[in-house]
Chain A
């Protein structure tokens, strides 16, 4: 938005001020930790068999793709001062729809496209239902999406008849496992979608309006902003993106796991958004930050495995890293650190001429 940094030093200052800067630092730190365990950790090779880059970084990008999808959806919802707890359940619904469809459909490109379309349609509809509960019925976002989170897995179970359905379709499988220009298709797709959503939000007035209703719903309404329509759109987008994430997750192994696919991923999404510097109170949001957050979570997941941290300690390890990060981001802690460094006679609060 506004760059008032001058010269490289100013630019650097500007970068450090960005909330997600610390997310980037954390990613780098984690990679360094892995590097000390194995000096060739960052090396990237070439696999002639499928024309693809091979390496840990590539794996991280691939693992980040579904998290990126639910994170940017979540980011928009949180900006409206709502929350979408159903992202994980929508993932499993999308997975169930596509697998169930493909299990009966022929192994063709058309079949894959039909499954994709159907899964995304169903996901968007579930998102729309969330939106209706929130904006038309007027329920709390937390409650509405909690309902959908609980009901979602039930719906998925009904769709597959309670089984973990597997299917075979090479085109569909390619979405999650294929390579393009040596990079995983799934990451390129995710990146393209992030950019697309970013353009949609920032090039249109959607971003401004989402921020307006997130900051002050009353004032925004009186300014003529159509809150209902916006909420419907935002929750539908979140549903749609969760559907994409569900397709990514299930296409990777061509199996939907009713109880595990997308399980507790709403936490990952919320964390990614917070790491990215979007306040849970709504208002200003940052899609780049959410993407960095998603990458950080993927890096963390992979690091835990790479270091061979005992499986029962995994959640604790994750929690420690995230708590540290949130501490660094917290204004209060940063202020504490700053005042340690400069115990000068500056005014304690830097408010401009509000007087």
Chain B
């Protein structure tokens, strides 16, 4: 029995330790703001950020940018709550506790699109404005949140499709590497791509498969896709950079040349991807601009001042279609 008490204590310690680790691990800026901020929170605007956490370089840049923008100097106390292993449940928990705490504004990057109605309604009842960062919700009920700030996935994926049509005037066999099923980003990127490519002639979709945004899984998936189609694949649409880089490795393993035999297009525009584009391994990178902290800051201020904002604010993004363009952009790349 003595063991049980020890166990409880021990578990508590470990849990605290793990949380601490998660917190500082996910916050490369060094955990500024949260603790020290408490003392002076009277003057500061409290912002709860229900975030995704480690997922890839894009997310890293996005969340770091938000954290760097909402500083104490700017008059904010930012509470950063990354999800545990991309788990929606942990996000809902964090969201609820922000509502209970009575923060001034909540920023939400949902790991999954659906299942947010109850939480958002609670926030509404508590009169806490919610601003969606990047990820949308499903069903998209604009009454439940103030605005969604994101680069337009549909626009970005349409850009990839337009490039593909230009690159393959005769059409091509292509394969889509998707993110996890059910995420709004995935649905939107599919939507934009399908709408444009569906109009074009000669494009044959060999299939679509999730690789969970992961390089390792993308490599494994695409390796099999190449086999099952006897290497007769001309194009890959990877919905993020990491998966695109995995596809590159699979192509190389199969003895083919990426960029010649198989052209790979990705979305995000991280440094690694631009480097690969510069090296000729990727063929097209559509930026999905993560650096919109300033826009978010502006929206938060307007909302708190009672001004109205559009229900969807699109962040402008660039595209890179050649090694030269990539070389040019690389030195200034922040993510």
Residues of A within 8 A of B (CB): 37-38, 40-41, 47, 49-50, 54-56, 59, 63, 137-139, 143, 147, 150-151, 153-155, 157-158, 161-164, 166, 177, 249-250, 252-253, 255, 257-261, 263, 301-302, 305-306, 308, 311-312, 314
B290 contacts A by Cβ under 8 Å: no
In the complex, 29 of the A-B residue pairs with CB atoms within 8 angstroms, ordered by the A residue number, are A47-B255, A55-B227, A56-B224, A59-B220, A137-B10, A151-B21, A154-B17, A154-B25, A162-B27, A162-B54, A163-B28, A163-B60, A164-B60, A250-B216, A252-B216, A253-B216, A253-B219, A253-B245, A253-B246, A253-B249, A257-B242, A259-B86, A260-B217, A261-B216, A305-B209, A305-B220, A305-B224, A306-B227, A312-B182
Closest chain B residue, CB of each to CB of A63: B220
The answer on a CB contact under 8 Å between A308 and B207 is yes
Q: Mark B217-228, 1 if CB is under 8 A from A, else 0.
A: 101110111011
Distance from B181 Cβ to chain A, minimum over Cβ atoms (Å) = 4
The answer on a CB contact under 8 Å between B209 and A151 is no
B201 contacts A by Cβ under 8 Å: no
CB neighbours (8 Å) of A308 from chain B are 207, 209, 228
For the complex, count residues of B whose C-beta is within 8 A of A.
54
The answer on a CB contact under 8 Å between B54 and A164 is yes
The answer on a CB contact under 8 Å between A164 and B57 is yes
B237 contacts A by Cβ under 8 Å: no
Contacts A164-B60, A253-B215 given; 11 further ones with Cβ under 8 A? A63-B220, A137-B6, A157-B54, A158-B21, A162-B60, A177-B249, A259-B55, A261-B214, A302-B220, A305-B228, A312-B210
Distance from B266 Cβ to chain A, minimum over Cβ atoms (Å) = 14
Give the residues from 187 to 243 in chain B that come closer than 8 angstroms, CB to CB, to chain A: 207-210, 212-217, 219-221, 223-225, 227-228, 230, 242
Q: Knowing A153-B85, A260-B216 touch, does A311 contact B56 (C-beta < 8 A)?
A: no
B272 contacts A by Cβ under 8 Å: yes
B3 contacts A by Cβ under 8 Å: yes
Closest chain A residue, CB of each to CB of B54: A258
> Top 4 nearest A-B pairs by Cβ distance?
A157-B25, A154-B21, A311-B210, A312-B181
Closest chain A residue, CB of each to CB of B225: A305
Distance from B204 Cβ to chain A, minimum over Cβ atoms (Å) = 13
CB neighbours (8 Å) of A155 from chain B are 21
CB neighbours (8 Å) of B21 from chain A are 151, 154-155, 157-158
A249 vs B15: C-alpha distance when bound (angstroms): 28
Residues of B within 8 A of A (CB): 3, 6-7, 10-11, 14-15, 17-18, 21-22, 24-28, 53-57, 60, 85-86, 178, 181-182, 207-210, 212-217, 219-221, 223-225, 227-228, 230, 242, 245-246, 249, 253-255, 272
Q: Knowing A147-B14, A177-B253, A311-B208 touch, does A255 contact B227 (C-beta < 8 A)?
A: no
A261 vs B28: C-alpha distance when bound (angstroms): 20
A56 vs B28: C-alpha distance when bound (angstroms): 41
Distance from B246 Cβ to chain A, minimum over Cβ atoms (Å) = 6
A40 vs B14: C-alpha distance when bound (angstroms): 53
CB neighbours (8 Å) of B11 from chain A are 143, 147
Contact of B242 among A139, A147, A255 (CB under 8 A): A255
A302 vs B53: C-alpha distance when bound (angstroms): 29
CB neighbours (8 Å) of A158 from chain B are 21, 24-25
Closest chain B residue, CB of each to CB of A148: B14
Distance from A217 Cβ to chain B, minimum over Cβ atoms (Å) = 16
Most buried by B among A59, A155, A255, A260: A260
The answer on a CB contact under 8 Å between A249 and B216 is yes
Contact of A255 among B28, B216, B225 (CB under 8 A): B216
Closest chain A residue, CB of each to CB of B181: A312
The answer on a CB contact under 8 Å between B85 and A255 is no
Closest chain A residue, CB of each to CB of B224: A305
The answer on a CB contact under 8 Å between A252 and B54 is no
Closest chain A residue, CB of each to CB of B178: A311
A252 vs B221: C-alpha distance when bound (angstroms): 13
A47 vs B254: C-alpha distance when bound (angstroms): 8
Q: Knowing A50-B255, A252-B216, A257-B216 touch, does A306 contact B228 (C-beta < 8 A)?
A: yes
Most buried by B among A37, A50, A161: A161
The answer on a CB contact under 8 Å between A259 and B223 is no
Q: Knowing A162-B25, A164-B57, A311-B208 touch, does A263 contact B85 (C-beta < 8 A)?
A: yes
CB neighbours (8 Å) of A137 from chain B are 6, 10
